Amino acid sequence: MTNDVIRLLGKKNLFIQGDDAVVYGALIADCRFFAGYPITPATEVAEGMALWMPRLGGVYVQMEDEIASIAAVIGASCTGVKSMTATSGPGFSLMQECIGYSCMAEIPCVIVNVQRGGPSTGQPTEAAQGDVMQAMWGTHGDHQIIALAPKSVQETLDLTIEAFNLSEDYRVPVILLLDAEIGHMREKVVLPEIINVKVDDRVPATIGPDKYRPYRTGFTRTSKVPEFAPFGSGYRTYVTGLTHDKRGFPVTTSAEVHEELVRRLVEKVQDDMDIIWYHEDSFLEDAEIIVVSYGTTARPAVSAVKMARKNGIKVGHIRLITIWPFHYEKMKEVLKNAHTVIVPEMNLGQMVHPIREAVGKNTKVISAPKIGGAIHTPYDILKFIEGDKN
């Protein structure tokens, strides 16, 4: 199917915006269901999916709101179809309850949040990174989602495919955190060589319907992820948001059952941190100051680091690609030689908190916030680097 999609897309080199790259990535990853409600700056994702789903035998549904959208996505995924929705802050807030449901019932799905200025309806056409903490902790209860933050249009396409793969591998909601800047930024995109595209599917049931239990574990590569039998396959499945046993049936007052389930939901992802975590670094060799950025902000951050290097400042750069789950040990390791860490973000300081926790008290961690819509200029970040070279 992937080959057909790449052929259908025609040209290999495209000049497209981030929202379109999400669509192409989803098509290549075999996404065949989209439910959503249009919202600036994510509407182009819905437009693209509305165009492509019918052509590929998939389904596009424009729902009445974002609560219904995520519910429909989870329902479609229960039948075994890879499913996605796309929204921005106000819609993402509405989706939180069902994101928790997806965590609890272990139904894979991809949620694209093209972040705009908030809170509330805020700045519809302006970029922000204000939903970083919400992506991790927006839904209630202990849980672990995965969130990825691309810095370019090409990477948006690549990480959309990766988002589906991770969602299928771990049976968790994966949140792709774009922002209005990258959603509407156009750049050259090269479609991947067919042979290089890795597309993962959730592990199907490995035993017959008579012995199958929806939440038994120990039979997949990541042994804490259960096998998946889709609705309508003849297997007996039971899905609930209540705490449940291996049969999927509610068991709501047993501390043992609850602890075993919720610990597994968290550990199935965190045990594989080394596989899920991606970051990129540059100029680290002798760096005494390190700028840590993610998403669009990584671009002015790299420019600023290059400028500072020209001025002889020993500064390096780390770009987070996976932002949740946060790899505390790895970040502690890569930041250990820095006396100062600078964290530019298009919010008043969110990712700076886990970074501060990772490095401990002996390293100074400085937040370099910017809100209002404009991305940081290289000078905005350079100012912090120069202010701290001594």
List interacting residues with another protein (CB under 8 A): 13, 15, 40, 124-125, 181, 184-188, 296, 299-300, 302-303, 306, 373, 375, 377-378
- Give whole-number Cα distances, 384 to 45, 340, 367, in Å: 36, 10, 9
Q: Least CB distance from residue 33 to another protein, whole Å? A: 28
d(CA 371, CA 118): 10
Cβ neighbours for 295, distance < 8 A, ≥ 6 positions apart: 129, 149, 150, 151, 177, 178, 179, 182, 346
**Least distance to another protein from the beta carbon of 255, Å?**
50
Q: Which is nearer to another protein, 269 or 382 (CB)?
A: 382
Encoded tokens for 314:
């020993």
- The residue among 145 and 185 lying less far from another protein, judged by its C-beta, is 185
Least Cβ distance, residue 238 to another protein (angstroms): 45
Residues 6+ apart with CB under 8 A from 277: 322, 325, 327, 330
**C-beta of 130 vs 378, nearer to another protein:** 378
Query: In 150-278, which ranges are E strands?
Result: 173-179, 186-190
Distance CA 86, CA 88 (A): 7
Q: Tell the smallest beta-carbon distance from residue 185 to another protein (Å).
A: 5
Beta carbons of 286 and 338 less than 8 angstroms apart: no
Give whole-number Cα distances, 322 to 95, 174, 250, in Å. Answer: 21, 11, 33
The residue among 50 and 266 lying less far from another protein, judged by its C-beta, is: 50
Q: Which is nearer to another protein, 74 or 375 (CB)?
A: 375
Contact 64, 88 (CB under 8 A): no
Q: How far is the CB of 300 from another protein (least distance, A)?
A: 5
- Give whichever of 15 and 137 is closer to another protein, judged by the CB atom: 15
- Smallest gap from Cβ 68 to another protein, in A, equals 24
